[in-house]
Structure 1
């Protein structure tokens, strides 16, 4: 019986140390890694530069709307539907493998690596040079056709999501996917990002307020967010102290029963 007692204490110590604590699940804690003005951290988001397979929504306006009708897909003007979703897949401008889009009249325009503002200026300049006069007073609007990203791992809902916003931080993106489960590792979330020369894996600790200074705090189109399970989950410990104690009690009960059965044989 003495051996069971010590085994019980050992199991209790291991499982108790494996409990998921408050520090494991609270976002943006001040861990001393931020400056004294940690509550006023300056954002490090940079203008997004267009990548291959992005879909762009481009709208051209002028004093004479008939002159610009050829540049604006008719389905966007007459369908009565919001610009977005599957509609943009068919009517938007997809960046091909060479970084080009095919635009009416102007032909192929290279947009790879350009910001949205750059593309607006580029399209406007080309239109004024080849089709319009300055007196037409044209106005060009360029937007990404939604911010598409993938979430997988220990989250409430894995899958591919699209948000129609210009900027989305990683916490908002995860919240849209059902948030990270209690058993997910918030201290080492992986962001797999697409670059012209391939993909790179980045790490971000979402329990540290310093994460807001990370260049990966704001997600980009085609990002993949991967949340790993905590080691505590692998050990099979409970998420709370009550669950852990229940597990320990069950194991101890089995050990005691086994001990007495063996002793009576």
Structure 2
């Protein structure tokens, strides 16, 4: 009878520990290169509240000075290392109608356009005002990739990374990594697009994650790291933690039993 009782106590221990295969990233052998549809390479289409850094240059700077937004520091707002706050004030925010408002050029609709298409659109607008043969150089970039991580993550909340491309591995590591009780096999990505809100999942424990359509983060993505069942059970995330919990429970039951007998 005693042996059966001890076995019942240790059954939770067998199921409460988190296996190594659930916490190791990108397991498996690399897949041989083959022709794969690269949806990740589809250019991002701008949305409301995105911020653009636009810089206009010419061989004759006086010709383009009137088209530049006046701000502290770099007038075009394209200098490397701009902070999020500086980008907010010096960049061009897309309003609820999908427009940006530029000096002299006025309102330009950019909703649903790529940054390349916006650059060409601005260049065409500038040619209406500048009739000389002076060469124009227009640079259009997103003011960083903003995303939000919630759930079982070291540092939850919004974050901005100043680069052109951002993988979900980079995003998670920049937010303090997934906690021991975070589910790496089913990380959720909530994404807003022109067509509406979509939800995807990705398994970060497998090397095949590189081929996922959502391996690269898009601006304004929400990354939700859901907890493992072990967190709900509260039995510990490691063998030692689970054993400590079981020993404490066994001690409590034994003490209660002894006290009850002595009453």
Q: What is the match of residue 125 of structure 2?
A: 126
Superposed CA offset, 1:8-52 (max 9, x none): 31231223212011111111112x8x8x41799886422111111
Residue range with higher mean Cα deviation, 206-215 or 172-181: 206-215
When the two structures are aligned, how many residues end up with a matched partner? 259
Superposed CA RMSD in Å reads 2.4
Whether 1:188 and 2:183 are equivalent positions in the alignment is no
Of 162, 165, 169, the residue aligned with 1:164 is 162
Secondary structure at 1:74 match in 2: coil
Q: What is the match of residue 50 of structure 1?
A: 46
Superposed CA offset, 1:53-86 (max 9, x none): 1000111111111111122223243799953421
Gaps of 5+ in 1: none
TM-score after normalising by structure 2: 0.90
The answer (yes or no) to whether the contact 2:181–2:227 under 8 Å persists in 1 is: yes
Q: What is the match of residue 63 of structure 2?
A: 67
Q: What is the match of residue 236 of structure 1?
A: 234
Change (3 A) 1:39 1:153: farther
The answer (yes or no) to whether the contact 1:42–1:213 under 8 Å persists in 2 is: no
Q: 2-side partners of 1:10 and 1:38: how far apart?
A: 50
Secondary structure at 1:66 match in 2: helix
Q: 2-side partners of 1:28 and 1:43: how far apart?
A: 19
Q: What is the match of residue 227 of structure 1?
A: 225
The answer (yes or no) to whether the contact 2:69–2:103 under 8 Å persists in 1 is: no
Q: 2-side partners of 1:161 and 1:189: how far apart?
A: 17
The answer (yes or no) to whether the contact 2:69–2:102 under 8 Å persists in 1 is: no
The answer (yes or no) to whether the contact 1:84–1:145 under 8 Å persists in 2 is: no
Change (3 A) 1:39 1:11: farther
The answer (yes or no) to whether the contact 2:51–2:143 under 8 Å persists in 1 is: yes
The answer (yes or no) to whether the contact 1:184–1:228 under 8 Å persists in 2 is: yes
Of 238, 246, 249, the residue aligned with 1:248 is 246
Q: 1-side partners of 2:50 and 2:6: how far apart?
A: 57
Gaps of 5+ in 2: none
Whether 1:77 and 2:71 are equivalent positions in the alignment is no
